[in-house]
Structure formats: C-alpha cells, structure tokens
C-alpha cells in the first residue's frame, strides 16, 4: 500500500471515529428533549399534558410516556420539560390515556399540594362520552382499577394521582398510536402555585416501567418519558 493511500485511510478512520464520538456526545450526552414554554394570562398559566401507554420515538416506542401540548401550536411535543412564569397559578390539565396500575405506596392516592387539596376528574369512554366532572381529594388505586400514573413535584409537595379510563373499556380500546387523540381516557384538572424561580423535578410514583427492577426503571428514570423538570422563570 502506497504512502498516500495509507495516509488517506488513516485520515478517514480518524474522521470516522471523531464523528462517532461527536455524535454520541451531541445526541446522547448533550441531547435533551425540547422545553415547552408557557406564559401566564391574568396570573394563571394553563398547562396541558397527556400520558400514553406508548410513544412515537423511534428507539423505545413501547415505553409509557408523557406529552406536553405546545400552547402556541396546539401540537403535542414528546417531552417532559416545560417552563412557567414565577408566582403564577399553574392550572394543569392532564389527559390520561394509559390503563391502570396500582400504586406501590397507596398514600399517593391522596391529592396533595393543589389549591384546595383537590382535583377534578372526568372519564371519557371509547365512544367519546364523558362522565360528569367530580371534585375528588383521593383516588384509591387499590380499591379498583382507577389510577394510571401520578404527577408529582415533591419539592412543592404537589402529588396528584392521574385516573385511568374504565378498565374494561381500555382493555379493548386503549389508544395505540401516540400522541393519543382518541380512545378512552381520563381528564384531570388541578391548580397549584409556583412560589419562586428555579427548577423543580417532577415524576410519576406508579411503578410503570414494565420489565425493569421494581417497575421503576426505564421510562420512570428517563427525562422525556415519565419524569422531567418544571422550570419556573423569574
């Protein structure tokens, strides 16, 4: 092999390795889901999320996942990062498309840290009919097939169980394409105050990482799926 060929081969190999390292760094280490920005209107920030039994990522479509609705476009964004203005009241609406799983600690069935210590819940069936909206302070995950996930911001003492759709209905008609736009689901609303600026992690307390240790691995420990950050902007 001639010298120019050897040098060229060496350079090509070097560039390939460098490109691989750069891809790993950019894509996996520095890569992060997008952040959806919400603004307040009259001191109230409306945030809309949905939780699905699957997701539309190319690599791990079988993982359960939250989605955040972009307030500007109305499109669902596959992320768990969002920002809200400081000192506002966050009015949260969560659409629960996933089926039920009992809580490991049923204490999280209690709604805590919301204004009034309550949330409202309505169940929409596969035909689109909704039950009357109820105001609840507990959704007992052990009393029946009632909870899919939770939305919790521990440092703000906000803990809200997210109701699941009717078990029989969801067993046959569960949404199968994310982001979900149809299928049986719950609609939950609640409000809480954001006290100051900072980053507040939020998570789910249902062990819904199927196939992982104690059900708490995989999507439960991956930002962009069942846990994320709420950025409070000053």
By CB under 8 A, name the binding residues for another protein. Answer: 53, 98-102, 104-107, 109-110, 112, 117, 137-138, 140, 142-143, 145, 148, 152, 154-155, 157, 159, 164, 167, 170-171, 174, 201, 203, 205, 207, 210-216, 220-223, 227
Measured from the CB atom, the residue of 46 and 55 that comes closer to another protein is 55
| Closest distance of CB 31 from another protein, Å | 16
What's the token pair of residue 201? 């992690």
Closest CB to another protein among 89 and 110? 110
Residue 167 CB neighbour total at 10 angstroms: 13
Q: How far is the CB of 133 from another protein (least distance, A)?
A: 18
In the complex with another protein, which residue's Cβ is closer, 20 or 61? 61
Nearer to another protein, 40 or 162 (CB): 162
CB of 15 to another protein, least distance (A): 35
How many Å separate Cα 198 from the centre of its chain? 19
- d(C-alpha 165, C-alpha 187), whole Å: 9
User: If you compute the radius of gyration of the chain from its CA atoms, what whole number of angstroms results?
Assistant: 21
Q: What minimum distance in Å lies between the beta carbon of 39 and another protein?
A: 26
Q: Which two tokens stand for residue 213?
A: 């240790």
Least separation, in Å, of the C-beta of 136 and another protein?
9
How far is it, in rounded angstroms, from Cα 12 to Cα 32? 30
Buried b (16+ CB within 10 A) or exposed e, 29-49: eeeebebbebebeeeebbbbb
Residue 20 DSSP symbol: H
**How far is it, in rounded angstroms, from Cα 191 to Cα 14?**
54
Closer of 146 and 189 to another protein (Cβ): 146
């Amino acid at each position: 092999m001639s010298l120019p060929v050897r040098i060229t081969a060496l350079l090509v190999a070097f560039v390939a390795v460098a490109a691989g390292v750069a891809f790993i760094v950019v894509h996996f280490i520095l890569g992060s889901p997008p952040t959806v920005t919400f603004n307040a209107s009259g001191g109230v920030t409306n945030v809309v999320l949905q939780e699905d039994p699957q997701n539309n990522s190319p690599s791990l479509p079988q993982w359960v996942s939250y989605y955040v609705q972009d307030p500007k476009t109305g499109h669902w964004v596959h992320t768990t990062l969002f920002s809200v203005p400081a000192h506002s009241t966050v009015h949260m609406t969560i659409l629960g498309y996933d089926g039920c799983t009992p809580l490991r600690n049923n204490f999280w069935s209690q709604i805590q840290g919301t204004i009034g210590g309550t949330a409202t819940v309505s169940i929409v069936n596969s035909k689109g009919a909704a039950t009357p909206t109820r105001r609840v302070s507990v959704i007992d995950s052990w009393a029946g097939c009632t909870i899919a996930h939770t939305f919790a911001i521990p440092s703000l003492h906000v803990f809200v169980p997210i109701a699941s759709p009717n078990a029989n209905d969801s067993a046959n008609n569960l949404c199968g394409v994310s982001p979900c736009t149809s299928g049986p689901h719950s609609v939950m609303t609640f409000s809480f105050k954001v006290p100051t600026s900072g980053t507040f992690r939020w998570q789910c307390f249902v062990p819904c990482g199927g196939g992982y240790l104690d059900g708490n691995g995989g999507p439960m420990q991956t930002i962009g799926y069942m846990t994320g950050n709420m950025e409070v902007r000053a």
